[in-house]
């Protein structure tokens, strides 16, 4: 029923969109400049027509966070979602340094292998910082950009650089704790009822992957994604900014910072919505993205 790469926990999914996404999950051996062997990378591809839309998930997450948004977009456009290097169910190589540079290299190889044409790049939370880093490095690969409650305009935490044993083990064990993850999930929503049992399973599937702890510590010690403010004016693509007006993870001030640094960008507030509009208000989020794509003359 489900691909072999998914853990047994997948059998406990209950929401139709979660089950459908799990059933459609595929893997591709992505060849990169990072090592001689390809990197096994999960992805989902749905829909057809128009400029492809590529979805990038957030920190310690996976493409499953787009389970409610993806089917709404794929009714009109070709949609891709991939797990980033070191996250989701992507193969984790303990010999690879995990940092923004290696994530960017892997993502570009995914784009070259799977898509091979300019995309509308959609990044949520840390995925927004990944998207910014990618468009600055490979502008020819991106037709337009959508940032959803995005990181990348304020300096990130540097505590990861100080994660030495045994504190690194304790920190990741704390993050693995189901009660802790449930609390984080609830904080991400304005409507706490959406932090369901199914949502908790989706958020925990990747915890079963080998080297999850090591990869998370490796990325944290790299310093993660910093502040792109000085480079934002270099971006020539049209940009849509979507932001939950009740975001308790990043707050709401960064939305105005992005708009200030990107004067041509359109900012849309999602009312009574937290940090994850694509999960909490997928219909409104999809409507804004579709309107943006149509305005950019991306034919359906």
Residue 5, pLDDT score: 95
81-119 pLDDT tens trace = 999 999 999 999 989 999 999 999 999 999 999 999 999
Identify the pLDDT of residue 114.
98
* Lowest mean pLDDT across 28-32, 173-177, 204-208: 173-177
Q: How confident is the model at residue 298 (pLDDT cuts 50, 70, 90)?
A: very low
Q: Distance between CA atoms of 17 and 141, rounded to whole angstroms?
A: 29
- pLDDT at position 162 is 42
Please tell me the predicted confidence (pLDDT) of residue 160.
47
Express each pLDDT in 140-199 by its tens digit.
Answer: 999 999 999 999 998 765 444 444 555 566 677 778 888 888 998 899 999 999 999 999
Phi and psi of 186, rounded to 5°? -60, -40
On average, the pLDDT of the chain sits at: 92
**What single-letter DSSP state applies at residue 64?**
G
Map tokens 């969109």 to a residue.
17
Which H or E run includes 40?
A: strand 39-46
Note the pLDDT of residue 170. Answer: 66
Q: How far apart are CA 208 and CA 186, in angstroms?
A: 22
The mean pLDDT value for 112-127 works out to: 97
Fold assignment, 8-295: Rossmann fold (3.40.50)
- Mean pLDDT within 262-276: 95
């Amino acid at each position: 029923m489900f691909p072999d790469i998914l853990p047994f926990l997948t059998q406990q999914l209950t929401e139709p969109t979660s089950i459908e996404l799990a059933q459609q999950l595929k893997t591709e051996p992505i060849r990169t400049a990072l090592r001689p062997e390809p990197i096994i990378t999960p992805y989902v591809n749905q829909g057809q027509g128009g400029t492809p839309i590529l979805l990038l998930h957030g920190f310690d997450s996976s493409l499953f966070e787009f389970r409610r948004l993806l089917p709404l977009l794929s009714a009109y456009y070709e949609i891709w979602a991939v797990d980033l290097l070191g996250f989701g169910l992507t193969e984790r190589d303990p010999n690879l340094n995990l940092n923004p540079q290696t994530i960017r290299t892997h993502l570009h190889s995914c784009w070259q292998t799977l898509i091979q044409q300019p995309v509308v790049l959609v990044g949520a939370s840390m995925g927004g910082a990944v998207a910014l880093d990618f468009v600055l490095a490979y502008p020819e690969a991106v037709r337009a950009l959508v940032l959803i409650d995005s990181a990348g305009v304020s300096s990130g935490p540097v505590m990861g650089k100080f994660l030495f044993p045994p504190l690194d083990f304790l920190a990741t064990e704390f993050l693995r704790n189901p009660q802790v993850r449930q609390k984080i999930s609830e904080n991400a929503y304005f409507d706490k009822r959406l932090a369901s049992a199914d949502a908790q399973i989706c958020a925990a599937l990747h915890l079963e992957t080998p080297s999850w702890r090591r990869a998370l510590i490796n990325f944290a010690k790299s310093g993660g994604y910093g502040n792109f403010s000085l480079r934002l004016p270099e971006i020539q693509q049209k940009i849509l900014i979507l932001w939950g007006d009740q975001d308790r993870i990043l707050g709401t001030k960064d939305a105005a910072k992005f708009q200030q640094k990107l004067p041509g960008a359109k900012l849309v507030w999602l009312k009574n919505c937290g940090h994850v509009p694509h999960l909490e208000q997928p219909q409104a989020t999809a409507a804004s993205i579709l309107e943006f794509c149509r305005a950019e003359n991306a034919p359906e």
